[in-house]
Amino acid sequence: MPVTLDVALRSETGPHRSGNQDSVGASVDYALVADGVGGNVGGDIASWTFTHRVMSTLATRPARTFTAENIAELIATANAEIGHRIRREPELEGMATTVTALFCGEDSVRVGHLGDSRAYLVRDGVGYRVTRDDSYVQMLVDSGAVDPADARTHPLRNVILRSLSGRSEDTTDLPVMEVPVQSGDRWLVTSDGLTDYVEEERIIGILTATPDREDAADALLAAALAADSRDNISLVVADVALDTGETQGARPYRFLGAAAGDDLGAVVDLSR
DSSP letters spanning 60-120 = TS-GGG--HHHHHHHHHHHHHHHHHHHHH-GGGTT--EEEEEEEE-SSEEEEEEESS-EEE
- Could you give the domains of the chain? 3-131+163-260 (3.60.40.10)
Mean pLDDT, range 148-153, rounded to an integer:
73
What is the tens place of the pLDDT at every residue in 10-66? 999 999 998 899 999 999 999 999 999 866 689 999 999 999 999 999 999 999 999
H or E stretch covering 23: strand 22-26
pTM for this predicted structure: 0.89
- Residue 108: pLDDT band (50, 70, 90) is very high
pLDDT of residue 246: 52
Percent of the chain surpassing pLDDT 90: 71
Determine the length of the chain.
272
Tell whether the model's pLDDT for residue 72 goes beyond 90.
yes
- Residue of 190 and 148 predicted with greater confidence: 190
d(C-alpha 5, C-alpha 209), whole Å? 19
Dihedral, 38, 42, 43, 48 alpha carbons, nearest 10: 170
pLDDT of residue 258: 61
Tell whether the model's pLDDT for residue 145 goes beyond 90.
no
d(C-alpha 226, C-alpha 202), whole Å? 13
pLDDT of residue 176: 94
pLDDT of residue 214: 97
Q: Who contacts 145 (Cβ-Cβ below 8 Å, separation ≥6)?
A: none
Mean pLDDT, range 69-87, rounded to an integer:
96
Percent of the chain surpassing pLDDT 70: 87
Across all residues in the chain, what is the average pLDDT?
87
pLDDT of residue 249: 42
What is the tens place of the pLDDT at every residue in 174-232? 989 999 999 899 999 999 999 999 999 999 999 999 999 999 999 999 999 999 999 99
